Amino acid sequence: MSGNARPLNVIIGVNGIGMGHSVRQSVIAQYLRDRGHTVRIVTNGFARVEYFRDLGFPAWDGWMPTLLARTDRIHASDAIRANMRQAPAGLAKHMRLRRIVRETGVPDVFVTDYEPNTPRLAYHFDRPLVSVDQQSKYRHLDLPAVGRYARTADEQRLRYFAPRVDRSFICSYVPLEADDRRLEFIAPVVPESVRSTPVATEPLVTAYFSRYFDHGPEESVAKLAAVFRQHVPDRALRIYVQSAEIGKLRRYTDGKVEIRTFDRDSFIRDMARSEAVFSNAGFNLISEAFVLGKPVHLVPLPTYDQHWCAQVVHEAELGTSAPRIDGATVLDFLNRSRELRANVVRHRDEHLAVDPRERIATYLESTSTASSSPLLTTSTR
C-alpha cells in the first residue's frame, strides 16, 4: 500500500462462466488483501462462489442474464425471450445484494470483470467503478471482423453490463494502443504460481479442449490422438478435458497418448515442461502458456473473442491456428515448435515480464487519497 493511502474496502465482480475470470480476479483479490485491503466478491454460480470462499473471501451469488448473439448481434427479442422467466428471480437476487452491501459496508470502489452486478451496485451507491478485463478492447477499439465473426455482440454485451466506467485496465498479451486516457493496457494477470513453475522442454505435448454449448471437444481429441499415434511416435501427448467429458473420451488413451480429467495444478506443471500446447483459443490459457514460454496451436471455439485471439497469435508467429485439428497443420506446428518457442520467449521478455498487479493496486489506492480525481470525474460511454 502506498504511504498515504488508507486501507480500502473493495468489491470485485467476476463473470462466473468458465474459470479464466475467476483465476484472474482471485490473483488480484489476494494481492489487494496482502496489501491490507478488505475484498469481497460478487460472482454467479454456486461453484464460483465456493471457489472464492475457499480462498477466504466473502462471496455472493449474483444474476447473470443470458445474452446470446445471433448473426453477430444481440437482438432485443432474443434477450427478452431468454430472460423472461428468470428475470423476476434475478432482480430479487440483485435487490438482496444491495441489502447485503448496505448492511456489511458500502465499499470505496467497485471492480468489474465482464459482469453486470457490480456496475449496478456502483451506480446505486455512487462509488467509482473500475474494469479489469480483457474483453473491453472490443468496446473501445475498432477491431476488424475475423472471418464471419465481428465484435458487435461483445461490444453490446459490455455496454449492457457496464454502461459507464471510470477507468479501464485492459489485459492484453500483444501490444495495443488507444488515445483515451481512461484506458490503460496491461499485461495479463497471471498467478505467481504459474510464473514460478519450473520450466523445461521434454518430449511431451500438452492439450486442453473444452465445450462451448454444442461445440464439444470430441472431434479435436479424436483427431489429435490419431495424428500422434500415426505420425508422432517420439513424443507423449497428454490431453486434458473436463470431468463431464472424460467418460466418452478416455477411450482415446493409447500408449503415449493419455486423456486426463482437467486438474489445474497438474495441467500447469505439464504445460511448463512441454514442447508445445494445443487448445481452444481462451485468453487465460494463451497468456499462461506465453508466460511459460510455450507456443500454442489454437482451434478457436465459435466466438469472436476466440477467433480474434487465434488470429493475433498466428499473425505474431507466437503459434498457429486452424479451424479444426488436421494432420498437416499439427505436423507443421510441431516442425516449427523450436522457432515459435524462441519467438514466444522474446515476446514474453519484452511485453509480459511486468506483473500488472502493482499498477492496478496503486490506482485503486489512489481513489482513497483524493475525493476528486480527473480519472474519476468522467465516464467511458
Tell me the pLDDT tens digit for each residue of 132-145.
999 999 999 999 99
Residue 262: CATH number of its domain = 3.40.50.2000
Same domain, 58 and 170: yes
Q: How confident is the model at residue 367 (pLDDT cuts 50, 70, 90)?
A: confident
106 C-beta neighbours (distance < 10 Å), count:
16
**For residue 208, what are the CA distances in angstroms to 39, 266, 359?**
32, 12, 31
> What tens digit of pLDDT does each residue of 162-216 get?
999 999 999 999 999 999 989 999 999 999 999 999 999 999 999 999 999 889 9
In a domain, 223, yes or no: yes
- Cβ contacts of 214 within 8 Å, gap of 6 or more: none
Q: Per the domain annotation, does 2 fall within a domain?
A: no
Looking at the domain assignment, is residue 172 inside a domain?
yes
Give the mean pLDDT of 290-298: 98
Q: Is residue 326 part of a domain?
A: yes
Domain count, the chain: 2
Considering only residues 263 and 373, tell me which one the structure prediction assigns the higher pLDDT: 263
Confidence (pLDDT) at 71: 86
Which pLDDT band holds residue 95 (cuts at 50, 70, 90)? Answer: very high
Length of the chain: 381
Q: Is 177 domain-assigned?
A: yes
DSSP letter string, 259-289:
EEE--HHHHHHHHHT-SEEEE---HHHHHHH
**CA 90, 92, 97: angle at the middle one, nearest 5?**
95
Angle CA 219–222–228, to nearest 5: 135
**Whole-angstrom distance, CA of residue 369 vs CA of residue 364:** 10
Tell me the percentage of the chain whose pLDDT exceeds 90.
91
Residue 42 sits at φ, ψ, to 5 deg, of -120, 125
- Quote the cell numbers at residue 258: 493419455
Domain encompassing residue 199? 193-352
Do 225 and 185 belong to one domain?
no
Cα angle, residue 175 at apex, residues 170 and 178 outer, rounded to 5°: 60
Considering the entire predicted model, what is its pTM?
Answer: 0.92
- Which pLDDT score is estimated for 3? 56
Residue 156: helix, strand or coil by DSSP?
Answer: helix
* 61 and 163 both lie in a single domain: yes
Determine the residue type at 181.
R
Residues 6+ apart with CB under 8 A from 216: 245
Q: Which amino acid is at 16?
A: G
Band of pLDDT at residue 371, cut at 50, 70 and 90: very low
Query: Do 185 and 257 reside in the same domain of the chain?
Result: no
Question: Which single residue is written with the C-alpha cell 470485485?
Answer: 12
Do 299 and 370 fall within a single domain? no
% of the chain surpassing 70 pLDDT = 95
- DSSP for 287-344, written as a single string: HHHHHTT--EEE---SSHHHHHHHHHHHHTTSEEE-SS--HHHHHHHHHTHHHHHHHH
H-run or E-run covering 72: none
Average pLDDT across the chain, whole number: 94
Q: State how far the alpha carbon of 124 is from the alpha carbons of 38, 262, 381, in Å.
A: 20, 40, 18
What 3-state DSSP class applies to 32?
Answer: helix
Answer whether 29's CB lies under 8 Å from 364's CB.
Answer: no
List, in sequence order, every residue forming a beta bridge with 131; answer none if it has no partner: 112, 168
Q: What is the pLDDT of residues 36-67, one digit of tens each?
A: 999 999 999 999 999 999 999 999 999 999 99
138 and 270 both lie in a single domain: no
Same domain, 330 and 360: no
Which pLDDT value is given to residue 378?
Answer: 34
Q: Is the pLDDT of residue 2 over 60?
A: no
Would residue 381 count as lying in a domain? no
Q: In what order do the strands lie in the sheet with 38-43?
A: 59-61, 38-43, 9-14, 109-113, 129-133, 167-171, 183-186
